[in-house]
């Protein structure tokens, strides 16, 4: 049946159930959202109205929440006279409906019916549940802005693969992308840069035109609501104390004014690790408390991501203000100063019923008490955090940074990092073998990351994400065996059918034979790294 991600258990019977004009939906309590989604998506593809029906009628899709099933668990039964989707919660029902859509074939993902198309489902029973509760994708919209419609489309693609966390990287040196009404210059100044480096930061090429954009607060509310209807949690990221030049360009007092002339800074136009970081002052803390107050109103997620990565300490070492703060707080060094900075917002968020999560640099100088860790520099940070009793999301760059190149061929567009083939991603294991069972329980799940320095538009994001994101989705959802024992040949077989779904969705994926001519970027330098990535 070529399903992706692979269900836990499938039993196939002879025959099919055929959908006709009279096919309708019985939506039990809690399933109204899935019924509404099906009428919009399946209704568009088939042309069927999918009216409300009662359970004693034929040709009915029965949607129900069933006590006894786990939260995201579902059961899909296709019988001769109707279809049943049961879930342990509304989310489980929605994932079951996504599986049903796949069973209908690629044309079920189109936006209008094709003439002469018949619709039928194989008689089957599927029981399924996810391995992890955090099945995430990070999208960086700071380096290259993705307009709102593209973000909504991206959420649809996540939902189609049963991914349920959208990590929204909204701020960085190269742009501030969310409206903060208390501080209008964050978007008036911070959302636009004058030009953009084309290719890796060592590239001599520039795109000599302004780039930018931002989401209004109503845009954010729409994105969050759209995600929620698809049972996706949006986790915002507001970077502190590094990756902050766009904010400093808008409000120079946020920077280390006793070291550099922050009034001369503009939104950064190139890539890499930026030396201009936030000053560890009370003014900075109060400013970002104001930012986070509005962020919390917009995003109801349990976790708020504060970055915490790649914060050079040179300006703090040179800053009398920063050194005075180190002495005042009785800290040992600049690493502990960053830990104090992150710890402040950990306490601030905890007091408001939220939880802080940051990149694994927040381990340096002491881990904030309630913080969770996104382990990106390999597995080590996640192992250390889990052993210390902190929750972890595993997203090691050597394994699941999808901006890394997919092949060693010269035709790969702007080749970055290690070669991470489709099979490499399929054999990624999120839970480090050295963790004990108790420690492993701190692994909330896993996440693939899409950093967009060399992804200038939606088509480039598609190319880097797919088909590898389909493999990642199966790793995150399905109870696969150990990496060496996984049946990659079977995954490739199912993926051959899945390409048809991606085609219907208009996804500009990388074909298995290599990039199409228009997907290449000849002459644009990247930064390929040879050899296998370290597995640590």
Bridge partner list, 372: 357
Count of CB atoms situated within 10 Å of the CB of 485: 8
pLDDT band (50, 70, 90) for residue 462: very high
User: How far from chain centre, in Å, is Cα 95?
Assistant: 18
Q: Which residues contact 426 (CB under 8 A, 6 or more apart)?
A: 471, 474, 475, 486, 488, 491
pLDDT tens column, 401-417: 999 999 999 999 999 99
What pLDDT is stored for residue 536 in this prediction? 67
Fill in the DSSP letter of residue 6: P
Say what the pLDDT of residue 63 is: 97
Cβ-contact 124, 100 below 8 angstroms = no
What are the structure tokens assigned to 71, written together? 């939260």
User: pLDDT tens for residues 239-261?
Assistant: 999 999 999 999 999 999 999 99
Please work out, in degrees rounded to the nearest 5, the angle formed at the alpha carbon of residue 153 by the alpha carbons of 240 and 125: 110
- Please name which of 461, 450, 447, 449 lies closest in space to residue 413, comparing C-alpha atoms: 461
| Distance of alpha carbon 103 from alpha carbon 69, whole angstroms | 22
In contact, 168 and 234? CB cutoff 8 Å:
yes
CB-based contact 102:501 (threshold 8 Å): yes
pLDDT in tens, 126-176: 999 999 999 999 999 999 999 999 999 999 999 999 999 999 999 999 999
Residue 367 has pLDDT above 90, yes or no: no
The model's pLDDT over 68-116, given as tens digits with 9 standing for 90+, comes to: 999 999 999 999 989 999 999 999 999 999 999 999 999 999 999 999 9
Cis preceding linkage at 3, omega within 30: no
Nearest to 161, CA basis, from 498, 389, 533, 511: 498
pLDDT in tens, 409-444: 999 999 999 999 999 999 999 999 999 999 999 999
What secondary structure does DSSP assign to 137-155, as a single string? EEEE-SSS---HHHHHHHH
d(CA 70, CA 77): 17
Task: Give the active site residues.
Answer: 172, 243, 310
Cα-based distances in Å from 53 to 82, 89, 501: 12, 21, 29
pLDDT at residue 62 is higher than 70: yes
Q: Count how many Cα atoms sit within 13 Å of the Cα of residue 181 in the half-sphere of its side chain.
A: 8
- Confidence category of residue 57, pLDDT binned at 50, 70, 90: confident
């Amino acid at each position: 049946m070529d399903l992706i991600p692979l269900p836990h258990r499938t039993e196939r019977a002879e025959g099919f159930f055929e959908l006709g004009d009279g096919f309708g939906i019985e939506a039990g309590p809690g399933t109204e959202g899935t019924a509404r989604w099906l009428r919009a998506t399946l209704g568009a593809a088939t042309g069927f109205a999918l009216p409300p029906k009662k359970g004693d009628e034929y040709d009915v899709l029965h949607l129900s929440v069933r006590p006894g099933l786990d939260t995201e668990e579902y059961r899909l039964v296709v019988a001769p006279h109707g279809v049943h989707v049961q879930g342990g919660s509304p989310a489980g029902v929605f994932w079951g409906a996504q599986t049903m859509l796949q069973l209908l074939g690629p044309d079920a993902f189109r936006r209008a019916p094709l003439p002469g198309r018949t619709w039928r489902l194989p008689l089957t029973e599927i029981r399924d549940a996810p391995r992890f509760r955090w099945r995430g994708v990070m999208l960086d919209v700071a380096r290259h802005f993705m307009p709102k419609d593209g973000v909504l489309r991206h959420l649809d693609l996540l939902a189609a693969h049963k991914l349920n966390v959208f990590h929204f990287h909204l701020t960085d040196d190269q742009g501030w992308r969310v409206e903060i009404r208390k501080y209008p210059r964050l978007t008036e100044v911070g959302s636009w840069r004058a030009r953009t480096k084309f290719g890796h930061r060592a590239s001599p090429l520039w795109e000599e035109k302004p780039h930018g954009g931002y989401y209004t607060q109503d845009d954010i509310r729409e994105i969050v609501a759209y995600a929620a209807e698809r049972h996706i949690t949006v986790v915002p990221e507001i970077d502190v104390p590094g990756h902050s030049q766009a904010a400093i360009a808008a409000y120079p007092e946020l920077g280390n004014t006793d070291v550099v002339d922050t009034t001369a800074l503009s939104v950064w136009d190139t890539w890499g690790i930026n030396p201009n970081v936030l000053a560890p002052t009370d003014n900075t803390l109060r400013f970002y408390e104001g930012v986070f107050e509005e962020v919390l109103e917009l995003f109801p997620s349990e976790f708020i991501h504060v970055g915490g990565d790649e914060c050079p300490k040179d300006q703090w070492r040179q800053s009398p203000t920063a050194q005075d703060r180190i002495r005042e707080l009785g800290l040992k060094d600049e690493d502990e100063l960053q830990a104090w900075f992150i710890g402040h917002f950990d306490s601030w968020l905890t007091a408001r019923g939220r939880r802080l999560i940051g990149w694994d640099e927040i381990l340096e100088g002491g881990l904030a008490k309630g913080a969770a860790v996104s382990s990106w520099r390999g597995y080590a940070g996640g192992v250390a955090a889990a052993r210390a009793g902190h929750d972890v999301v595993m997203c090691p760059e050597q394994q699941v940074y999808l901006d890394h190149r997919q092949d060693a061929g010269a035709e790969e567009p702007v080749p970055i990092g290690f070669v991470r083939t489709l099979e490499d991603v399929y054999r990624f294991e999120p839970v480090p073998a050295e963790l004990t069972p108790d420690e492993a329980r701190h692994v909330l799940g896993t996440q693939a990351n899409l950093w967009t320095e060399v992804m200038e538009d939606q088509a480039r994001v598609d190319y880097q994400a797919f088909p590898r994101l389909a493999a990642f989705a199966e790793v995150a959802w399905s109870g696969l065996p150990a990496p060496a024992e996984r049946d990659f040949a079977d995954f490739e077989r199912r993926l051959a059918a899945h390409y048809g779904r991606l085609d219907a969705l208009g996804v500009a994926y990388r074909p298995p034979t290599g990039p199409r001519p228009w997907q290449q970027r000849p002459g644009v330098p990247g930064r390929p790294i040879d050899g296998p990535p370290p597995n640590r």
